[in-house]
Structure 1
């Protein structure tokens, strides 16, 4: 009956490699944004805005390397954070983020559009991979948290840096990944 312990040991070793639920190791937006931006905040994404007060500069102008903080909403119960890769024009940026279009999926070069009336990034549409377009839903946002020492310094509300000319919008948008 020595076969039973061997079979059991094989089964246990195989189970250890495949028994983890698919979502248990899913990368969330918070650790991804923290690693990519150097902004050392923790907890749900929607709490980052208040946590940043007194530690990091905040504002409503995007800067390369800053983190766009989305408010909690019915569609995003804990908010969302995304890192600004580059600025296309006053109303468009390119984001890198995780867990937006699909659980755990890292998206690089995802277009985001400011659809707020005042142009203050308080309402944003973001590239949604399953539809290969900007999302139909506008998501509420607090604004941007600036990494200390990153592009743009610490002046809140200053002019965006690393800005592309407006005519480059179409070129930047056409390079977006067609993931599904």
Structure 2
């Protein structure tokens, strides 16, 4: 989905998300994230805010980057290029090799992606497939629910392929792992 082509229904969704956020603030219980359930979803208010900010940047002719988008969607408060996130998360956030909704998938830098990349898991489809939301995989665009498959030899998510084109998985990309959004206190 391109933020540029957002419809009025996205604005309605944003309003609904704000209303839900206000209601949730009164509930007193925090949402839980399960690593196994595909029924768990991202916080719709955070997601709507991230999409809205990306849309505003594009409207001003500015670039949409993966780092601020992932930070806005996930709540993982790390600054700096994507390639630094894995190391910076050490001691601040739990890290691992099991996908979970809301976790940040931290890609290692490559020749074609020298600053690395970060994406947020929006759904766990199976032990070897997830959907991610991220920005700037396609230049200056937000991509929602993009399929990603684990192609690592040890089934540890250290190598993945993304379906950048419908029904076609692209090149293999190395991944450090997942950064889980609940910070250590």
TM-score tier, shorter chain, comes to: 0.5 to 0.7
Corresponding position of 2:63: 26
Corresponding position of 2:178: 144
Contact 1:33 1:97 survives alignment (8 Å): yes
SS across alignment from 2:163: strand
Once the two structures are superposed, residues 90-145 of structure 1 have per-residue CA deviations (whole angstroms, 9 ceiling, x without a partner) of 10000000000x211001110000000001000010121xx334432100000000
- Residue 82 of structure 1, aligned match among 119, 143, 149: 119
Corresponding position of 2:88: 51
- Structure 1 stretch 115-124 or stretch 133-142: which is displaced more? 133-142
Contact 2:163 2:170 survives alignment (8 Å): no
CA separation of 1:111/1:48 partners in 2, compared to 1, >3 Å: closer, same or farther? same
How far the C-alpha of 1:24 sits from its partner, in A, is 5.8
Contact 2:149 2:160 survives alignment (8 Å): yes
- Residue 120 of structure 1, aligned match among 156, 165, 174: 156
Higher helix share: 2
Once the two structures are superposed, residues 30-87 of structure 1 have per-residue CA deviations (whole angstroms, 9 ceiling, x without a partner) of 0000000000001110110000000000000000000000000012110000000010
- Name the CA distance, whole Å, in 1 between partners of 2:172 and 2:131: 16
Q: TM-score, normalised by structure 1?
A: 0.66
Contact 1:112 1:134 survives alignment (8 Å): no
- Name the CA distance, whole Å, in 2 between partners of 1:25 and 1:145: 27
Contact 1:111 1:134 survives alignment (8 Å): no
Q: TM-score, normalised by structure 2?
A: 0.65
- Residue 101 of structure 2, aligned match among 49, 64, 68: 64
Larger radius of gyration: 1
Tell me the matched-pair count: 127
CA separation of 1:97/1:60 partners in 2, compared to 1, >3 Å: closer, same or farther? same
- Name the CA distance, whole Å, in 2 between partners of 1:26 and 1:132: 24
The answer for unaligned runs of 5 or more in structure 2 is 1-57
- Name the CA distance, whole Å, in 2 between partners of 1:94 and 1:124: 12
Runs of 4+ aligned structure 1 residues displaced above 6 Å come to none
- Name the CA distance, whole Å, in 2 between partners of 1:69 and 1:59: 10
SS across alignment from 2:123: strand
